[in-house]
Amino acid sequence: MATHRNVAVYGAYGHTGRFVVAELRERGYAPLLLGRDRDKLQAMSQSFPGAPRPASARQLEAPPPTPAGQLEAPLPAPAGHLEAPRPAPVDDPEALDRALDGAEAVINTAGPFASTAGPVIEAALRAGIPYIDVAAEIEANVDTFTHFAERARAAGTVVLPAMAFYGGLGDLLVTTAMGDWSSADEAHIAYGLSSWHPTGGTLAAGAVSARRRGGRRIRYSGGELRYHDDALPTVEWPFPAPLGTRSVLSEFTMADVVTVPSHLAIPEVRTYMTTNAASDLFSPDPTAPTAVDERGRSAQTFVVDVVVRSGGAERRLVATGQDIYAISAPLAVEAVERILTGRTRAAGVASAGALFDAPGFLDALSAHLTVHTPAATLG
């Protein structure tokens, strides 16, 4: 376990950021609270027991009430030193450099990542520290692989995009399912969500991605990303018990189409989403998550069903858990811990499956995630 090692969290006061900060403190790290909004950072900092007073002499007002239905992860008792918050706009390189001073790594949880990933990666490279983010935006993740691969490799540091429920988890599951296969014909990742109450950050990031692709949809086929205007077909997916067969949107494309092919020779990668969850996301009046337990998680449950096929053979792996936003925290923090302790397989820009021992990584998340191979296989 870490002892007072400083890990910066950019966007610390956001929905996922608060889960990440709580996970870091639970593991003994000392998170540095970074973000664009000074007032939100200070309010969050003061919610910690024994937190330092801000540099300003003025008394802080009480934190604004959380909007109805909005979930905020709880902040547990201190596990180590906590410094004053460090505001830093993404368009201010000097402020970012000051904010990362003394950090051993930075986790970026602030979307839209089309705006934040590049500047925070640049700052991490200048500081010579690893960068991890939780980006689900396909285009933002493509940008990271495209623009920073050579520089990160030359610097001998790690840049790890999409280390979250979408992108990171699917990549770890596909890599584990592959086992000793060096290639496969196709990979399918089906998301069985009981519901999807999106955060404001999710909606904003989705809007940015939609604008970037001109309203078109995207698929990974023939070994490349392809844009199209086809309607999303609805098919039946045989999730394992107790979920069972459910209607899903085929080609509901998520960040896995970037992370998986970045290191695995699989020319066809397809992701699916249960229609009820997609309806929640596309609702004209979506509602935010609501906490139901002491960890601040929502009641949402998920099943991630991965099928990999090669020739006539098939391998399958399933993961189940609670709250897609909350699970991103142990994914990102476990990644930081493995990077800082030298348990990596590469330098430069790399996905989770390329960087880590995938089965071992999933085993380390057993307190948050159940992974198993179903007894029955698809026909």
**Encoded tokens for 205:** 């990031």
State yes or no: pLDDT of 157 exceeds 80. Answer: yes
> How does residue 78 score in pLDDT terms, banded at 50, 70 and 90?
very low
- pLDDT recorded at residue 77: 39
Give residues with Cβ within 8 angstroms of 282, minimum separation 6.
none
**How far, CA to CA in Å, does 271 sit from each of 60, 88, 225?**
46, 36, 13
**How many CB atoms are closer than 10 A to CB 54?**
17
Mean pLDDT for 64-82 is 46
**Encoded tokens for 234:** 């609805």
Distance CA 166, CA 367 (A): 19
- pLDDT recorded at residue 84: 84
DSSP 3-state assignment of 369? coil
> How does residue 18 score in pLDDT terms, banded at 50, 70 and 90?
very high
Task: Render pLDDT for 342-368 as a digit per residue (tens, 0 to 9).
Answer: 999 989 999 999 999 999 999 999 999
The percent of residues above 90 in pLDDT, for the chain, comes to 83
Architecture of domain 6-160: 3-Layer(aba) Sandwich (3.40)
State yes or no: pLDDT of 64 exceeds 80. Answer: no
Give residues with Cβ within 8 angstroms of 237, minimum separation 6.
190, 192, 245, 246, 247, 248, 272, 274, 305
Q: What is the mean pLDDT of the chain?
A: 90
- pLDDT recorded at residue 356: 98
Distance CA 161, CA 259 (A): 8
Q: DSSP string spanning 10-55? A: ETTTSHHHHHHHHHHHHTT-EEEEEES-HHHHHHHHHTSTTPPPPS
The residues facing 33 across adjacent strands are 9
Q: Are 192 and 246 in contact (CB under 8 A)?
A: yes
The percent of residues above 70 in pLDDT, for the chain, comes to 88
Task: Render pLDDT for 96-149 as a digit per residue (tens, 0 to 9).
Answer: 999 999 999 999 999 999 999 999 999 999 999 999 999 999 999 999 999 999
Sorted by where each begins, the domain ranges of the chain are 6-160, 166-324+359-372
The sign of the dihedral angle between the CA atoms of 236, 237, 238, 242 is: negative
State yes or no: pLDDT of 83 exceeds 90. Answer: no
Task: Render pLDDT for 1-14 as a digit per residue (tens, 0 to 9).
Answer: 445 589 999 999 99
State yes or no: pLDDT of 156 exceeds 50. Answer: yes
Task: Render pLDDT for 221-268 as a digit per residue (tens, 0 to 9).
Answer: 999 999 999 988 999 999 998 899 999 999 999 999 999 999 999 999
Task: Render pLDDT for 20-30 as a digit per residue (tens, 0 to 9).
Answer: 999 999 999 99
> How does residue 82 score in pLDDT terms, banded at 50, 70 and 90?
low
Q: Are 82 and 48 in contact (CB under 8 A)?
A: yes
- pLDDT recorded at residue 81: 56
Q: Are 227 and 251 in contact (CB under 8 A)?
A: no
CATH of domain 166-324+359-372: 3.30.360
pTM above 0.75, yes or no: yes
DSSP 3-state assignment of 94? helix
- pLDDT recorded at residue 144: 98
Q: DSSP string spanning 203-227? A: HHHHHHHHHHTTT-EEEEETTEEEE
State yes or no: pLDDT of 379 exceeds 90. Answer: no
**How many CB atoms are closer than 10 A to CB 349?**
26
- pLDDT recorded at residue 65: 43
The sign of the dihedral angle between the CA atoms of 295, 296, 302, 304 is: negative
Q: Across the chain, how many H-helices and E-strands are there?
A: 12, 16
- pLDDT recorded at residue 56: 35
Mean pLDDT for 49-64 is 38
Q: Are 196 and 278 in contact (CB under 8 A)?
A: yes
State yes or no: pLDDT of 73 exceeds 70. Answer: no
- pLDDT recorded at residue 4: 58
Distance CA 362, CA 179 (A): 14
